[in-house]
Amino acid sequence: MTSAAGGPAAVATGDWTPSSWRSKPIKQCPEYPDEAALRRATAELDQLPPIVHPHEINRLKQNLRDVARGEAFLLQGGDCAELFDYCRQDRIESKIKLLLQMSLVLIWGANKKVVRIGRMAGQYAKPRSSPTEIVDGKEVPSFRGDILNGFNLEDRQLDPQRLVKAYNHSAATLNFIRASLSAGIADLHGPLNWSLGHVKDPELKAKYTKAVHFLQDMLRFMHTIGADRASELATVDLFTSHEGLLLEYEQSLTRLMEDPTHRSRDAASDGTSSSSAQYYDTSAHFIWIGDRTRQIDGAHVEFFRGIANPIGIKVGPTTPSTDLLELLRTLNPDKEPGKITLITRYGASKVRELLPGHIRAVEGSEYKRCVIWQCDPMHGNTRSTGSGIKTRRFGDIFQELQETLAIHQEEGSYLGGVHLELTGDAVTECMGGSEGLDEDDLSTNYTSFCDPRLNEKQALELAFLVADHYRKGRSELD
């Protein structure tokens, strides 16, 4: 099949085509100064092979159905704004290892399998409040992510060729992820760095140490009885995701394709196979609609409603319950369990006020038990210091997550996962945590070009805190 932008793949599904979004009003749309250069870049993308395969996308959909049924937990994390420069062995490996450690802690706590999705191999575009900003008294274009322009002032003009560079960096990142997993980076027979030297609180350190010893003893016991020979202990699935913000890019990588495993299962008795071709956005396994682009009659919702990928919707303080139901009916008319992940992001001070109404609206509708509820405790808790540095307090992040867990329990619904901005590097961007980082510490290693991220210790600590919630819940039932 050729690209959905032209050729035989450009056929309609009902009244939808991969380009029908162009007839709708659009937010966060870049205005390229050179249309001819944009057409050349997208034409090049049209001919490049998919970054991910429909079989992988469908495997994720199967896993997300388990999450929607309460049989699994979704861990999604990575950089706020991924940079081309992050396409390096050390950066990629550190995120893989951190997500693996966090998932092991969550398995220990929740007693469920964990589905892992990285905010990586494509998270290059960021929405901005204004197309321009003031730097050193001069108005310049805002940095909108490496897929559009560069952070350095001399690189702020929009460059369509960055679309192709984003493809190349995404493909290279995912290629190394696959190679690392195949080579055994996730092999549970090997040692992990469970160093707890960052934990200063004695009670907290004792609790974490007990959990780590439990996990290590479990793996040793499995080795002793020979139960550690299963292939599942040698590798894991790690899926990729990003915000589907730049529709020029997403359209060029949307292809009408069949999953060959589905085709073989659907083979007719006469030896022929029924067509199961669907449109897949092959830029990533999972993409989401941001808080700024979820207008019912907008271009982003129009594009998302036609693709077979599982998709996320950011839900915040400005989301009316009526819009939420209309979005679900537009994007998931067949009520497919796990197709939609609702990523809630209110802020610690607003979650108690707003989340119950959203839960009641959805769970009281025909979409009961169809969606995945996922907590993003990061975006609603961003603040600036007196000197203008963007940061987040670990206490606020944990409070929103803790409140969200409690509210779902009260409402009889299920929190299916967490969505975190994190890095495997020892950055100092969020205050608090067991390291006790304060405002004076932020300058030590603040490297984010966009929003502040949890460092590897804070992220692991958050996983332990979530795990502890589930273990307490199980002990109360016993």
> Nearest CA to 300 among 254, 257, 243, 342?
243
The helix/strand/coil state of 8 is helix
The predicted structure's pLDDT at residue 276: 78
- Kindly report, residue by residue over 416-443, the tens digit of the pLDDT: 999 999 998 889 999 998 888 999 999 9
The predicted structure's pLDDT at residue 435: 82
- Residue scoring higher pLDDT (217 or 355): 355
The predicted structure's pLDDT at residue 229: 54
pLDDT at 220 exceeding the cut of 90: no
The architecture of the domain spanning 34-186+235-262+278-476 is Alpha-Beta Barrel (3.20)
Are 412 and 70 in contact by the 8 Å Cβ rule? The answer is no
Mean pLDDT of the chain: 88
- Kindly report, residue by residue over 150-204, the tens digit of the pLDDT: 999 999 999 999 999 999 999 999 999 999 888 877 665 554 555 555 556 676 6
Least confident of 70-84, 259-273, 305-319, 449-463: 259-273
The predicted structure's pLDDT at residue 53: 96
The predicted structure's pLDDT at residue 78: 96
For range 457-477, the mean pLDDT = 81
The helix/strand/coil state of 19 is coil
Looking at the chain, the whole-number percentage of residues with pLDDT higher than 70 is 85
Q: Which two tokens stand for residue 193?
A: 């760095």
pLDDT category of residue 448 using cuts at 50, 70 and 90: very high
The helix/strand/coil state of 273 is strand
Query: What does the radius of gyration of the chain's CA atoms come to, in whole angstroms?
Result: 22
Q: Is 430 annotated as a binding residue?
A: no
Least confident of 34-48, 195-209, 215-229: 195-209
Give dist(CA 389, CA 384) in Å, integer: 5
Q: Is 345 annotated as a binding residue?
A: yes
- Residue scoring higher pLDDT (262 or 48): 48
Looking at the chain, the whole-number percentage of residues with pLDDT higher than 90 is 69
Give the burial string for 186-213 (b: 16+ CB within 10 Å, else e): bebeeeeebebebbeeeeeeeebeebbe
The predicted structure's pLDDT at residue 69: 95
pLDDT at 3 exceeding the cut of 50: no
pLDDT at 246 exceeding the cut of 60: yes
Please name the residue that has the structure tokens 């206490």. 395
The domain limits of the chain are 34-186+235-262+278-476
Q: Is 133 annotated as a binding residue?
A: no
The predicted structure's pLDDT at residue 474: 65
- Residue scoring higher pLDDT (107 or 354): 354
Give dist(CA 294, CA 301) in Å, integer: 6
Least confident of 1-15, 64-78, 407-421, 432-446: 1-15
- Kindly report, residue by residue over 111-160, the tens digit of the pLDDT: 889 999 999 999 999 999 888 999 888 999 999 999 999 999 999 999 99
> Nearest CA to 163 among 40, 334, 41?
41
For range 228-247, the mean pLDDT = 78
Are 144 and 249 in contact by the 8 Å Cβ rule? The answer is no
The predicted structure's pLDDT at residue 151: 94
Give dist(CA 67, CA 112) in Å, integer: 9
The predicted structure's pLDDT at residue 17: 97
For range 271-288, the mean pLDDT = 83
Identify the DSSP state of 143: P
Name, in order, each residue with C-beta under 8 angstroms of 223's C-beta and a sequence gap of 6 or more: 189
Whole-angstrom distance between the N-terminal and C-terminal Cα of the chain? 55
pLDDT at 319 exceeding the cut of 50: yes
State which H helix or E strand residue 69 sits in: none
The predicted structure's pLDDT at residue 341: 98
The predicted structure's pLDDT at residue 254: 98
Give dist(CA 361, CA 209) in Å, integer: 41
- Residue scoring higher pLDDT (262 or 350): 350
Q: Is 305 annotated as a binding residue?
A: no
The predicted structure's pLDDT at residue 236: 74
> Nearest CA to 103 among 372, 386, 400, 462?
462
| Pairing label, strands 72-78, 286-289 | unpaired
The predicted structure's pLDDT at residue 275: 59
Conformational region of residue 471, where left means phi above 0, alpha means psi within -120 to 50, and beta covers everything else: alpha
Q: Is 242 annotated as a binding residue?
A: no
Identify the DSSP state of 243: E
Measured over all CA atoms, what is the biggest interatomic distance in the chain, rounded to whole angstroms?
73
- Residue scoring higher pLDDT (478 or 327): 327
- Kindly report, residue by residue over 321-339, the tens digit of the pLDDT: 999 999 999 999 999 999 9
Give dist(CA 207, CA 432) in Å, integer: 19
Give dist(CA 160, CA 436) in Å, integer: 43
Q: Is 27 annotated as a binding residue?
A: no
- Kindly report, residue by residue over 364-395, the tens digit of the pLDDT: 999 999 999 999 999 999 999 998 899 999 99
pLDDT at 5 exceeding the cut of 70: no
**pTM, rounded to two decimals:** 0.90
> Nearest CA to 146 among 130, 161, 131?
161
Q: Is 314 annotated as a binding residue?
A: yes
Helices (DSSP H) in 26-117: which residue ranges?
35-47, 54-68, 89-110
Angle (nearest 5°) at CA 249 between 244 and 253: 95
